[in-house]
Structure 1
Amino acid sequence: MEKSREIVTAMKWGPGQDALSAKARASLFVGKSRKALLEKFLLELKESAKSRSIQHYLVIGTRGMGKSFFLSILYDKVKEGHAGDVWVPIKTMENEDQITSAQAFMASIMRYLGNTPLSGAVELANDIHRIKDENTAVQQATEQLEELCKKNKKRILLLVNNFDEIYENMFKDTSKAALRGILQQHFWLKLIGTTRNITFLKLLQEEYEVELFGQLSTEELEQLSGDEVITLLYKIAEVEGDKEVLEKIGSAEWRERRVNAKALAELCCGAPRMIYVMYPFIVESRTESGLTVLHKTLDDLTTYYEAQRMYLSSQERAVYSVIAKLNGSASPSEIAEELHMDMNVLSTYLARLQDKDYIEKVHADSADARIVRYQIPDKIYVVWYQKNYGAKDARYKWLVEFYKTAYSAEELEHGVGEPEAPEIVRESKLRALSELKAQVSQTMIVETVPEDKELSEWNAALDKGIEAYQKGKFNDALSEWTRAQKACEILVKKYPDNLMYQEKLAGSLNNLGLLMNDMGRFLESLNYKERALALFEALLTRDPTNARFQSSVAMALNNLGNLLSDLGRREESLKRYESALEMRETLLNSDPKNINYQSSVIGTTTNQVDLLTTIGRHRDAIRTLDAAIRIIPENHELLLLRSSANLALQNDGLARDDLRAALNLLESKGNGEFLTEIHPALLSYLRHGTPGFTIEAIKIVCAVFGTSLEDEKAKPLIPFKMAAEFLASDRSSGTLFNLDPLTRDATYKVLRDSGHEGDIEALNYKGKRKKRK
């Protein structure tokens, strides 16, 4: 009689896992690295429960690696209080197709909070869903959730399955920007999501130029080892109450002769889901019924694998099928020959399948690292494909492939004559043994996708140049980046219509411009930067709506403005800053929550305001800041700059208002480094010759942050206070000489940095005269 194997059935597919008890799930949780990752998250949750810092995580793993199950285990542990009593965990389903906006994302969170201490959010979810304006809805939702968290002294832990799919499923870029904003701004909300797309963060960074994504770290869910696979098999049998299987797995013969743990792990790619799928066959593979069980197991996989194939385009599916047909591993020319496909076209589809985690590139053991084959890591899929789509004259080829994958030649040689095995099994094992032996004596013939050597040279030179630059070895960096530039120039000549190569060349020139600037070779720097700008502008002319090209032109204009300012060509510099700022503000208006766009606007605004202030155009500086603050209303850097500009015009009241607003923003964000943030403003106040306002500003800082100059964290303010008091006196006071040496030196530095070098020299002269007397 066939066993029901309810636990195995539930664990084959993600949704079934939640139907199990927390105790059953805990029993099936195996893997040393997985348990270590779980403990890491629990510890981090405990430690961050009282912090206002923001840190999110993405758990990366291939299909069937147990990502959803890991989130279930984490959910159970947090709910049981292993991470303290602050966090309220909610876990999304594996498929959340209905979430197509940030508004829907927030409404979904609110609904998931039912039966939790924050269940009041459920009643508000429908109201949020009905709001027509998404930004308004998101703002209201976050405000309401924040209020609930504050009231109940709780925080929300979001355990989100397939976060990358939810993000990519959002129709509008503004929705994606809003979601990024949610995660970047609220300390009471922590995301631990999953993705199988290892390039997801890289793609985000390239597309939006953001790193959220400095607040989002990745952790890899590693494959199970051979020993861990055996442990899982034992745990499955234990939870199922399968005494016969427990005895079998516990026997030395089964462990040592019948099951090669390493081969099992390889066959199932170390993926727990595949272990559950193959469990019935693995424990019955010696018997006559083993073949029947394998047939049924593979048939049960049809729905799963066909669904996976439907995610691919027809061309991608064709390439994927050919690799499976060729026993799961093929060279590019073998695939191209089978499909009669142009090699350049094939390269595109191979890259897409790699990005989607369907295939992997395997480099040959050769001095030429470009020699590759492409293989399907899911060995069971290859067996399934051979069974269902293999040629009729080789109907058991799939079984031969299975034995080649699951057993070593020695194991097959030992077991090929088993009298109890059916004929087809013996025949298949014999063929598998023959092919394995033949593979040992052959050298695998591999071929390569044609690749320009210049592209490889550009990549290598770029990386070596970056490494040298970071170590301060500027001459080495110059050598490597010059080599990268020349490689790009060859590529541009060979492929004049390839915009990617033109963009790489512009980037190479820009790198050389920055390097020359650091080396003090300003005229050469100017030449490189102007050439880079011209190339970026040419690219933008060809594709005017390309946000990346727009951003690159703005960057080049800003860099050129910096250099022209250093060269004393101030009017030219201002024109470059104005053009750069206009482009960066346009980009930010298209994506208001984009942190990188915000940072770019702040950077160019700061550069322009510094230059305007230097040449005494304070009113123009304020107009520039007003425009930036309208776009980024809650930014302490801009507010502090405007405070200084207003003070230069003797608008003390406005300067004081901006200072308070900036400090309140810093305090609300829990910024423990507030002294570093206000340091430039205090220097600016002193530079404008307003020591009285500086002393008042220090009092305001202490009041907002609830501290005093006696507190350790506020002691760095003392040199500013002493410098202000000295400048407010007749500058002949001897009080500075009574300070301890460290404070006196720090005060001197403040005076020098704020433009009062002459006062220090006079003070030192008077000090010397005192000593002579």
Structure 2
Amino acid sequence: MEQHIVSIRLFSKTGGKNMSANSQPLIATIYNPHNQSKEALIAGFIARKQKFERIFRDIRDSTMTKPEQHYLIQGIRGMGKTTLLLRIAYEIENTPELRQRLIPIVFNEEEYGIGSLADVWERTAQYLGEADIAFADLYDNVTKLYGQDDYEQRAFQAIIDALQKQNKKLLLLIDNIGDVLKKLDTQEEKRLREILLTTSELRLIGATSVAIEQVHDYTKPFYEFFKMIHLEGLAKQEAIELFLKLGETYHTEAVQQLIERQPGRIEAIRRLTGGVIRTMVLLFEILVENGSGSVFRDLNILLDRVTPLYKHRLDDLPAQQQKIVAALAQAWDAASAKELAQVVRLESKVVSAQLKQLIDNNVVEKVETKTKNHLYRLDERFFNIWYLMRFGRKTDQRVLWLIRFFETMFAGDEEWMQERIDGHLKAMEVGTLDPEAALYLTTAFSTIIKDEEIEDKLKKTTRIYLITKGYNSLAANITYSKQEQVTEIIHSGKYAEAIKFLSSFNNKNEAILLDLSACYLMNDETLLAEENLIKSFTDKKEYLINDINDHQSVSLAAVIGLVNGVKIDIEINGEVKKNLFSTDKSRIAAEIAIQYFTNKLANRKNISFSIVEKFIQKAVNTVKDIRAFFVYDIINLWNDYYLTSYTLNKYIDGILSHLNNKNSIFNDPLNRLTKEFLELLLAKKQYHTAYNYFQQEEWQLKDRFKPLYYATLHFLKDEYPTDYLRMGSELKETVDDVLSEVAQMAIDYA
């Protein structure tokens, strides 16, 4: 009767032969390939094809008329050893010629019931009986011999006799064979070696996740006995093939997009995991699915999933090696043997010897240097990340592992990093993000991101999100962004310190350049103040020369520069010329202040006041342009200093002389500044002051700003009811718009 390999009967608990290749997710069976159907395992077998074909070709071509070479497959946990053993067994079953003469038996990955060589033969007899009905009575026949002095020899001979009777050969596929060998005493080891050397009916393929002492110690019976097959991390092409196969199983479009759009991402995953198949499969879902901002949750789940794998890896190591691994994990960056010796408090020669074994076991990677003092780090970076999360210092473990993960995954790919940040911000916007995830992800992203503007947005958004959700204690853990730190430094008047800090920014956007200009000016470095101010206009040169229809686009440069005949050179051949302000401090001061104002930078109104006070109010006799005083009044109002506005009264005639000139090229910006000033008076509830300006007939403000005039009367209609009623119906909608603007300004310039 045709036999079946034992692994199907023992392990196909979730579907057996009738299960389709793709009906079981690989992730569901990643820790126990035995639970995967034969069809699914064969369909998903990609990564170790060359190793498989090499071993299987040897099995197929060997007649076993004499003792054959035995194999030992070595690779850290998750490298595919168990899957390779099963794949060999399944191929034997699927090959009629081999099936007729060879029975493959796959032992359980953990054989806790084996404590002696006799136990090995008992378990073999049991598996043979389950694999082929011709051996159904073998286990009982063997165990009946128990109690005799030579029980082990008799048990083994009973198996050989049964095989010879059926004209069969036996292939033992034993996972974690090191655990079995450890349980044998020296005599049993010698006995097993002798059997394997002299018995043609039996062939052994073992697998181990660590370097077995019995194989590497020249005093042991199995020293250099096996033909070694080393399973190393997947190569680049193997990793791509693995992901394509995973895509066929359940994420075809996402994986294809990942490979086509970001081929470097696969390589990053491979490097991060050290090419360990099991970890790559576990990491797979996060990288192709996570568009909902749930990366923190998914990574936590992933770390839970890999815990059995990594915990076993640590448990497999001797105590001294565990200490060295712990030290390397905490260090993250490569360390020398001497540095490790200081941390683990062992002699350097002891550490070096243990490092050699860790390298042999593919746990540690050696980084060659030009000296004898080489460096060492954990080979699989994700193992390092897992250790930081599970065993790192409590103060940093929840964040540090995330930082290391993102640093590795997003290296050189800012676009993909930004997509993750956008997803994170979106999750907070819709309110679906777990509060702890919000905190830890923001902290990790903020640590890695090089753009200070994005960092600021991340931290402010998260702080508001957590407070809104009622998690004030979590919000308190969010440190100030670099932009917030700059604000504090500027408020304290430490301008030299602020200059140094701002100069280190990666993203010197308009706001940063404006801050630099302000700080340089307050530090009496006028040329540098002017240079940075002009740089801030580079991306908005239209503000200087075009019609201005938006109050946020007002640039005093167009007003105070051109009015006085100062030539403004705009961009020529990509370069902004630097004679915009002719180093007039009052003009520079006015421009900086009005830019802060029109950009609604509430946290800069203090320095705006300091600037206009120092360079306009206190230097009143040297100020050459009256428009600077206009800005001075606006900034005073912004800071809630309700003066008599003597400056406006004193210089308004000069300003309005240009307003009265219909051909003046400055009408638009001057009109806008005047409108800004009057609206700000209303926003600050200075209704009577605004009304008094409108009553100055020579200034003709009523005619120029009629909607603003009636908006002023709106607030004073109890005092001037008749005047308010004079408003034509065609103005009502416009006046309502002005009132809305005033209401918004009251908020923006509070």
TM-score for both structures, normalised by structure 2: 0.51
Q: Shift of residue 110 of structure 1?
A: 0.9
Q: Shift of residue 177 of structure 1?
A: 0.8
Q: Report if the CA contact (8 A) 1:61-1:221 is conserved.
A: yes
- Give the secondary-structure state (helix, strand or coil) at the position aligned to 1:88: strand
| Corresponding residue for residue 338 of structure 1 | 343
CA distance in 1, matches of 2:220, 2:142: 29
CA distance in 2, matches of 1:220, 1:307: 19
| Corresponding residue for residue 553 of structure 2 | none
CA distance in 1, matches of 2:311, 2:211: 23
Q: Report if the CA contact (8 A) 1:77-1:83 is conserved.
A: no
2:143 maps to which of 120, 126, 136: 126
Letter matched to residue 86 of structure 1:
R
Q: Report if the CA contact (8 A) 2:216-2:223 is conserved.
A: no
Letter matched to residue 77 of structure 2:
R
Q: Shift of residue 417 of structure 1?
A: 8.1
Q: Shift of residue 75 of structure 1?
A: 0.9
Q: Shift of residue 430 of structure 1?
A: 5.9
| Corresponding residue for residue 236 of structure 1 | 246
Residue pairs, 1:447-486, within 5 angstroms = none
Q: Deviations along 1:425-469, whole A, 9 cap, x unmatched?
A: 57635644669xxxxxxxxxxxxxxxxxxxxxxxxxxxxxxxxxx
% identical equivalent positions? 23
Distance 1:305 1:41, change over 3 A: closer
Distance 1:5 1:340, change over 3 A: farther
- Give the secondary-structure state (helix, strand or coil) at the position aligned to 2:207: strand
Letter matched to residue 30 of structure 1:
I
Q: 1:173 aligned to 2:176?
A: no
CA distance in 2, matches of 1:329, 1:393: 23
1:92 maps to which of 104, 107, 115: 107
CA distance in 1, matches of 2:395, 2:144: 63
Letter matched to residue 140 of structure 1:
R
Q: 1:419 aligned to 2:422?
A: yes
2:95 maps to which of 59, 81, 88: 81
Distance 1:191 1:411, change over 3 A: farther
Q: 1:187 aligned to 2:173?
A: no
| Corresponding residue for residue 391 of structure 1 | 393
Distance 1:344 1:280, change over 3 A: same
Q: Shift of residue 261 of structure 1?
A: 1.7
CA distance in 1, matches of 2:85, 2:382: 25
CA distance in 2, matches of 1:209, 1:393: 49
| Corresponding residue for residue 203 of structure 1 | 216
Q: 1:161 aligned to 2:175?
A: yes
| Corresponding residue for residue 306 of structure 2 | 301
- Give the secondary-structure state (helix, strand or coil) at the position aligned to 1:158: strand
CA distance in 1, matches of 2:385, 2:143: 48
Q: C-alpha root-mean-square deviation of aligned residues, in Å? A: 3.1
Distance 1:165 1:118, change over 3 A: same
| Corresponding residue for residue 268 of structure 1 | 273
Q: Shift of residue 380 of structure 1?
A: 1.4
Q: Shift of residue 388 of structure 1?
A: 2.8
CA distance in 2, matches of 1:111, 1:372: 51
Q: Shift of residue 328 of structure 1?
A: 5.6
Q: 1:249 aligned to 2:260?
A: no
Letter matched to residue 412 of structure 2:
A
| Corresponding residue for residue 403 of structure 2 | 400
CA distance in 2, matches of 1:197, 1:309: 11
CA distance in 2, matches of 1:306, 1:356: 15
Residue pairs, 1:3-152, within 5 angstroms = 7-13=25-31, 16-31=32-47, 34-49=48-63, 51-81=65-95, 84=98, 85-115=100-130, 116=132, 117-128=134-145, 130-133=146-149, 136-152=150-166
Distance 1:101 1:409, change over 3 A: same
Letter matched to residue 122 of structure 2:
A
- Give the secondary-structure state (helix, strand or coil) at the position aligned to 1:409: coil
Distance 1:114 1:221, change over 3 A: same
| Corresponding residue for residue 522 of structure 2 | none
Q: Deviations along 1:156-215, whole A, 9 cap, x unmatched?
A: 011111222211221x211111111111111111111112334657524x11366572xx
Letter matched to residue 203 of structure 2:
K
Q: Report if the CA contact (8 A) 2:78-2:309 is conserved.
A: no
Distance 1:228 1:316, change over 3 A: closer
Structure 2 unpaired stretches of 5+: 1-21, 426-437, 452-750
Q: Report if the CA contact (8 A) 1:158-1:189 is conserved.
A: yes
Letter matched to residue 403 of structure 1:
F
Q: Shift of residue 72 of structure 1?
A: 0.7
CA distance in 1, matches of 2:381, 2:72: 26
Distance 1:314 1:223, change over 3 A: closer
CA distance in 1, matches of 2:224, 2:320: 34
Q: Deviations along 1:568-600, whole A, 9 cap, x unmatched?
A: xxxxxxxxxxxxxxxxxxxxxxxxxxxxxxxxx
Q: Report if the CA contact (8 A) 1:7-1:236 is conserved.
A: no
- Give the secondary-structure state (helix, strand or coil) at the position aligned to 1:18: helix
Q: Shift of residue 390 of structure 1?
A: 3.0
Q: Report if the CA contact (8 A) 2:338-2:348 is conserved.
A: yes
CA distance in 2, matches of 1:258, 1:195: 33
Q: Deviations along 1:125-162, whole A, 9 cap, x unmatched?
A: 3235x2353xx233323322222222211100111112
Q: Report if the CA contact (8 A) 1:332-1:373 is conserved.
A: yes
Q: 1:226 aligned to 2:236?
A: yes
- Give the secondary-structure state (helix, strand or coil) at the position aligned to 1:301: helix
CA distance in 2, matches of 1:6, 1:374: 40
Distance 1:432 1:227, change over 3 A: farther
Q: Report if the CA contact (8 A) 2:102-2:171 is conserved.
A: yes
| Corresponding residue for residue 651 of structure 1 | none
CA distance in 2, matches of 1:372, 1:196: 25
Q: Shift of residue 399 of structure 1?
A: 1.3
